[in-house]
């Protein structure tokens, strides 16, 4: 008999659809996903690929307001949705919205197993807010199991006192095959795509939101610290949008020599072209629970320079093997790593191959297998 699993998560994110599809294909699991909203159009420009969804789902009615960095989201019909779904097991994608607390309360009243899908890490900026940490720990007390994407979140929960036997790992994943295949197509005609996108012959690549906490100004300063001859040959490309875009454009204009392109948001098909044509992917974030852009870049065969604050680095980036790990905010260290890789084509090629090999372990199927371990009772007993 199939086990009815309900996942509550905030958005219909394009990178989540492949992993949910993979879970829905697993024998013995009847998946239903409750989305708190279709998207956050004030922050997200991605397309919602509803035609690719292969699982049952519902989008709740919602009201959203954003004040500075804080997002407030209220939903109607949470308990009605759960009652109609009749779950055997609930996977809750956070603790930061009222709907998540309502689902936890409903599960306790109805004797339904309840787990937290947790991506928090010890380097999360939110740890600076005691009230948030207090609320989170209260939420943890009422969970029957926990699902984490990797080692950083696993260690965070252990430090919160969560027993080892209650933590299951579902490795964070994107559609690796899509990005790998798309990159291969692009590389068969690089000049055509480079001209269409108006890109330099060689470049470092950043992809993500253009906000200060992502370390974008560190990257800009590190690029400016490179030798002028190197900047004349290797450009810097920012893909994304955000509150700091105007400031980034203004500061980039003062870097000379150099070729800096701030191209705005790109949907996944176009984004794969940027990965395919880049020399190195750089992710200098100051705080990030994971960083799925690193998965995407590795699927496209890129070496990665990432800060130690990214939740994914412990799992994905082996320092000196498929990339370099640098201290968040250390511009000099970042510049040295960038120069080392830019000047060694053989090393870049070797690291890129290793990235591609390593990311194979982080497929949608691997995520689904990890989630199945958490939600299937017989597997939990054996874990």
Chain center to CA of 334: 21
* Separation between Cα atoms, residue 48 and residue 160, nearest integer Å: 35
| Token pair belonging to 144 | 């029957």
* Residue with the two structure tokens 């095959």: 177
Pick the CATH number of 3-173+363-382 from 3.40.50.720, 3.20.20.70, 3.90.1170.50, 3.40.50.2000: 3.40.50.2000
Q: How far is Cα 306 from Cα 325, in angstroms, rounded to an integer?
A: 5
- What is the pLDDT confidence band of residue 123, given thresholds at 50, 70 and 90? confident
Name the segment(s) of the chain with CATH classification 3.40.50.2000: 3-173+363-382, 176-359
Q: Residue 178: helix, strand or coil by DSSP?
A: helix
Q: Tell me the percentage of the chain whose pLDDT exceeds 70.
A: 96
Q: Is 321 helix (H, G, I), strand (E, B) or coil?
A: coil
pLDDT at residue 67 above 80? no
pLDDT above 80 for 71:
no
Query: Where residue 383 falls among pLDDT bands split at 50, 70, 90?
Result: very low
Share of the chain above pLDDT 90, in %: 88
pLDDT at 185 (0 to 100) = 97
Report angle CA 291, 322, 341 to the nearest 5 degrees.
100
Report residue 374: phi and psi, to 5°: -80, -35
DSSP state at residue 194: H
The pLDDT-based confidence of 382 (bands split at 50, 70, 90) is: very low
Q: CA dist 19 to 31, 177, 354, Å?
A: 12, 12, 23
Is the Cβ–Cβ distance between 86 and 110 less than 8 Å?
no
Segment (H or E) for 304:
strand 304-307
- Name residues whose C-beta falls within 8 Å of residue 361's C-beta, 6 or more positions apart in sequence: 171
**The predicted structure's pLDDT at residue 209:** 95
The first and second tokens of residue 240, run together, are 């994304």
CA distances to 23, 33, 151 from 5, in Å = 10, 8, 25
Whether pLDDT at 280 is above 80: yes
pLDDT over 50 (residue 381): no
Average pLDDT score over the chain: 94
User: What is the tens place of the pLDDT at every residue in 227-267?
Assistant: 999 999 999 999 999 999 999 999 999 999 999 999 999 99
pLDDT in the model for residue 127: 58
Distance of alpha carbon 31 from alpha carbon 20, whole angstroms: 8
User: Among residues 279, 352, 277, which one has the least CA distance to residue 317?
Assistant: 352
pLDDT digits (tens, 9 = 90+) for 204-217: 999 999 999 999 99
Rg, Å, the chain Cα set: 21
User: 354 pLDDT exceeds 70?
Assistant: yes
* Contact status, residue 248 vs residue 87, Cβ threshold 8 Å: no
What pLDDT, on a 0 to 100 scale, did the predictor assign at position 179? 97
Q: Return the bridge partners of 262, or none.
A: 238
Cα 364 to Cα 361: distance, rounded to the nearest angstrom: 9
Average pLDDT rounded to a whole number, residues 333-355: 98
- What's residue 237's pLDDT? 98
Q: Which residue has the higher pLDDT, 66 or 197?
A: 197
Among the ranges given (66-80, 199-213, 362-376), the one the predictor scored with the smallest mean pLDDT: 66-80
Tokens standing for residue 32: 């239903």
Nearest residue to 174 via CA among 7, 299, 34? 299
Distance of CA 345 to the CA centre of its chain: 28
Q: Which fold has domain 176-359?
A: Rossmann fold (3.40.50)
What is the per-residue pLDDT across 141-152, written as a single tens digit (0 to 9) for each?
999 999 999 999
pLDDT of residue 99: 97
Tokens of 341: 């890789």
Distance CA 136, CA 132 (A): 6
- 273-to-91, 153, 210, 278 alpha-carbon distances in Å: 34, 31, 19, 9
Place of tokens 């090999």: 357
What is the sign, positive or negative, of the torsion defined by CA atoms of 239, 242, 244, 245?
Answer: positive
3-class SS of residue 213 = helix
- Whether 226 has a pLDDT exceeding 60, the answer reads yes
Checking phi first, is residue 9 left (phi over 0); if not, alpha (psi -120 to 50) or beta?
A: beta
Per the CB < 8 A criterion, the answer to whether 107 and 90 are in contact is: yes
């Amino acid at each position: 008999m199939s086990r009815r699993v309900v996942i509550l998560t905030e958005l219909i994110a394009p990178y989540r659809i492949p992993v949910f599809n993979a879970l829905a294909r697993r024998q013995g699991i009847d998946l239903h996903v409750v989305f708190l909203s279709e998207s956050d159009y004030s922050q997200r420009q991605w397309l919602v690929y509803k035609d690719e969804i292969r699982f049952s789902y519902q989008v709740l009615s919602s009201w959203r307001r954003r004040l500075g960095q804080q997002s407030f989201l209220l939903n109607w019909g949470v308990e009605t949705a759960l009652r109609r779904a009749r779950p055997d097991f609930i996977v809750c994608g956070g603790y930061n919205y009222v709907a998540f607390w309502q689902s936890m309360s409903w599960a306790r009243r109805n004797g339904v197993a309840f787990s937290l899908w947790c991506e928090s890490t010890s380097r999360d900026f939110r740890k600076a807010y005691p009230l948030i940490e207090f609320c989170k720990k209260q939420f943890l007390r009422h969970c029957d199991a926990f699902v984490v994407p990797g080692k950083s979140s696993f260690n965070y929960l252990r430090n919160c006192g969560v027993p080892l036997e209650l933590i299951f790992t579902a490795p964070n994943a994107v559609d690796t095959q899509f990005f790998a295949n798309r990159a291969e197509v692009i590389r068969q005609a690089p000049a055509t795509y480079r001209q269409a996108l108006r890109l330099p012959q060689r470049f470092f690549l950043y992809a993500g939101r253009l906000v200060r906490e992502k370390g974008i100004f560190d990257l800009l300063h590190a690029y400016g610290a490179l030798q002028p001859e190197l900047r004349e040959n290797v450009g810097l490309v920012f893909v994304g949008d955000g509150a700091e875009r105007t400031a980034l454009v203004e500061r980039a204009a003062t870097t000379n020599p150099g070729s800096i392109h701030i191209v705005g948001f790109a949907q996944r098909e176009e984004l794969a072209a940027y990965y395919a044509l880049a020399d190195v992917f750089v992710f200098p974030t100051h705080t990030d629970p994971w960083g799925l852009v690193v998965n995407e870049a590795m699927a496209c065969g890129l070496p990665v320079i990432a800060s130690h604050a990214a939740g994914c680095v412990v799992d994905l980036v082996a320092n000196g093997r498929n990339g370099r790990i640098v201290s968040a905010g250390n511009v000099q260290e970042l510049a040295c790593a960038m120069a080392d890789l830019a000047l060694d084509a053989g090393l870049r090629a070797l690291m890129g191959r290793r990235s591609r090999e390593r990311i194979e372990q982080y497929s949608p199927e691997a995520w689904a297998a990890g989630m199945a371990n958490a939600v299937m009772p017989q597997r939990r007993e054996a874990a």
